[in-house]
Amino acid sequence: MLFRSFWKKISGYDIVLDCVGGRTEGKSMKILKPGGRQITISGFPDIATAKTMKKPPLFLLIMYLLNTKRQMRQKKYKVHFSFLLAKENGRDLSKIVDLADSGNIKPVIDRVFSIDDAPSAIEYVKTNRAKGKVVVEVGI
């Protein structure tokens, strides 16, 4: 299965957008070409992002220590790393809704499950065969 060992099969990419984190973060750096950039929304923030969070000095120290392995990988693979701290922004979300409503962007939906069939949705996602979003409808 490609997903399980993707870092062994592909290489030379300019950018990786990582939304999984964990072990995948380190493996994703391996597929970048030197000078490439990895951007993640998962896991703990990099030092630059941590400094913008207005947290106590102890938090920055902990982030520094947690980033040690990440920084070693960056040097080893000669790549750059950024953490994208997503913040809610009503104006931006409204623009996205407008783009979707006008048809300028269209989400790819693979399957829709009812809330009663949520266990099947989870099993389907685990197969790594979805070609888009898997939706679980919740009746209100």
Query: Which pLDDT tens digit goes with each residue over 103-123?
Result: 988 888 999 999 999 899 999
Q: Which of 42, 33, 23, 41 is nearest to 80 (CA)?
A: 33
Which strand (E) or helix (H) includes residue 15?
Answer: strand 13-18
Question: What pLDDT band is residue 44 in, cutting at 50, 70 and 90?
Answer: confident
The model's pTM is 0.60
The pLDDT value given to residue 113: 94
R_g over Cα of the chain: 19
Q: What are phi and psi of 52, to 5 degrees?
A: -85, -5
> 67 is written with which tokens?
């980033």
Residues 19-37: what's their mean pLDDT? 89
Q: Who contacts 57 (Cβ-Cβ below 8 Å, separation ≥6)?
A: none
pLDDT, tens digit, for every residue of 69-105? 999 999 999 999 999 887 778 888 888 889 889 998 8
Q: Is the pLDDT of residue 2 over 50?
A: no
Question: What CA–CA distance (Å, rounded) separates 99 from 105?
Answer: 6
